[in-house]
Amino acid sequence: MKSDPKECLYCQNNETLHNLMIEIAQLNVSRVFLFKEQTYRGRCLVAYKDHVNDLNELSDEERNAFMADVVRVTRAIQKAFQPEKINYGAYSDKLSHLHFHLVPKYIDKPDYGSTFQMNPRKVYLTDAEYQVLIDTLKANL
């Protein structure tokens, strides 16, 4: 499925996007967001800067640059929060804009050893608590 940038959450940078996530950085070829729902402490999303429907549409150089951004954020999450594992999700059945979910998983915490929930709607933070997470991530990017 190819989506129209005029209907794309990331391209439109609209209220729906800002209700779900907080943009925390722009990297080489991507934008980095912190999920507001924080069941998985430090959960982020990396979205390609342009409207691209799928990873296979990128040139080798563009793909390598995007994956370098994904790895950069993964390393920042690892340094900042020391999860046991980070799960990667690249789902775009309904929203075809290239993006990766980066979901830290912790032993004895929700869904360790299984698939993460897209939006469990359980853990929301105060503005000050979000800022601590953002500052910690940025210090490690």
How many folded domains does the chain comprise? 1
Question: In this predicted model, what pLDDT tens digit does every residue of 115-128 receive, in sequence order?
Answer: 999 889 899 999 99
> pLDDT digit string (tens) for 88-121?
999 877 778 999 999 999 999 999 999 999 889 8
Q: 3-class secondary structure for the chain?
A: CCCCHHHCHHHHCCHHHHHHEEEEEECCCEEEEEECCCCCCCCEEEEECCCCCCHHHCCHHHHHHHHHHHHHHHHHHHHHHCCCEEEEECCCCCCCCCEEEEEEECCCCCCCCCCCCCCCCCCCCCHHHHHHHHHHHHHHC
Please report the pLDDT score of residue 1 as a whole number.
Answer: 58
Which range of residues forms the domain containing residue 111? 5-139
Over residues 49-72, mean pLDDT: 96
Q: What is the pLDDT of residue 94?
A: 74
Residue that wins the pLDDT comparison between 95 and 81: 81
79: CATH: 3.30.428.10
pTM: 0.94
